[in-house]
């Protein structure tokens, strides 16, 4: 069974390895993070933990049945009971329902543990897999967006009554 772990300092090495392993895979659908992201990963990791400690964001690792890192699912820009959802599932876990399960679980946490009332998300029109995950997990289209210069859609999900 898939589980989410809140980001911790001791996740740094595994998370860096995951990002390196999946860099080319992720770059096929989203803008590459660039070499500086990897060169200064430790600094970035500490900054994320500080944001999380302040309550501005909630970062999670997605662990598969074997306890292996399969992805990330994050809630960022927490404000006024809402946050933006973002997720990345590694290549070896793609197409297996991992993203759908992770998004469902983070929606549950968002309501039950973080007290959020709604989530926002965006994806480009050419990222059909991400759009399908959002639809399957109760998000509805709320408008058009431009994401990294590419056309996309904005989504929203109300969390009232989320189990």
The pLDDT, as a whole number, for residue 38 is 92
pLDDT of the residue at 162: 57
Residue 75, beta-bridge partner list:
58, 85
- Residue 90: Cβ within 10 Å count: 20
CA distance 94 to 79: 31
Q: Tell me what pLDDT residue 51 has.
A: 95
What is the biggest distance separating any 2 CA atoms in the chain, rounded to whole angstroms? 43
Residue 18 in domain: yes
In a domain, residue 163? The reply is no
User: Residue 120: what pLDDT?
Assistant: 98
Asked if 7 and 52 count as a contact pair (C-beta separation under 8 A), the reply is: yes
Rounded CA-CA distance 5/8 in Å is 8
CA 38, CA 43: separation in Å to the nearest integer?
10
pLDDT for residue 62: 98
What pLDDT was estimated at residue 14?
96
Digitized pLDDT (tens) for each residue of the chain, 163 residues in all: 899 999 999 999 999 999 999 999 998 888 889 899 999 999 999 999 999 999 999 999 999 999 999 999 999 999 999 999 999 999 999 889 999 999 999 999 999 999 999 999 999 998 999 999 999 999 999 999 998 888 999 999 999 865 5
pTM for the full model?
Answer: 0.92
| Model pLDDT, residue 29 | 83
Q: How many domains does the chain have?
A: 1
Range of the domain at 57: 3-158
CATH number at residue 62: 3.40.630.30
Burial of 31 (0-12, 13-18, 19+ CB in 10 A): exposed
* 71 occurs within a structural domain: yes
């Amino acid at each position: 069974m898939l589980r989410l772990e809140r980001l911790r300092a001791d996740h740094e090495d595994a998370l860096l390895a995951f990002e390196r392993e999946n860099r080319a895979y992720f770059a096929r659908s989203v803008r590459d993070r660039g070499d500086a992201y990897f060169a200064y990963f430790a600094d970035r990791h500490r900054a994320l933990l500080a944001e999380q400690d302040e309550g501005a964001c909630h970062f999670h690792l997605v662990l598969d049945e074997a306890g292996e890192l399969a992805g990330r699912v994050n809630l960022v820009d927490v404000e006024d009971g809402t946050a933006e959802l973002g997720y990345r599932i590694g290549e070896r876990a793609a197409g297996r329902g991992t993203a759908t399960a992770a998004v469902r679980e983070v929606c549950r946490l968002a309501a039950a543990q973080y007290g959020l009332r709604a989530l926002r998300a965006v994806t480009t029109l050419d990222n059909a897999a991400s759009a399908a995950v959002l639809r399957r997990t109760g998000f509805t289209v709320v408008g058009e967006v431009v994401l990294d210069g590419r056309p996309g859609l904005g989504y929203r999900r109300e969390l009232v009554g989320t189990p």
